[in-house]
Structure 1
Amino acid sequence: MTSTRREIIQEGINNCATASNMAVKLKTHPDPAVAELAKAIHFLAFGAQQIGLGLTDQGRIADLPQLSR
Structure 2
Amino acid sequence: MKYDSREAENRIQDERVNLSRQKLMMEGLQERYIEAAGGEQATVTLSKSFSNVALTMNGFNG
Calculate the TM-score normalised by the size of structure 1: 0.45
> Highest relative contact order (Cα 8 Å, sep 6+), 1 or 2?
1
More helix by share: 2
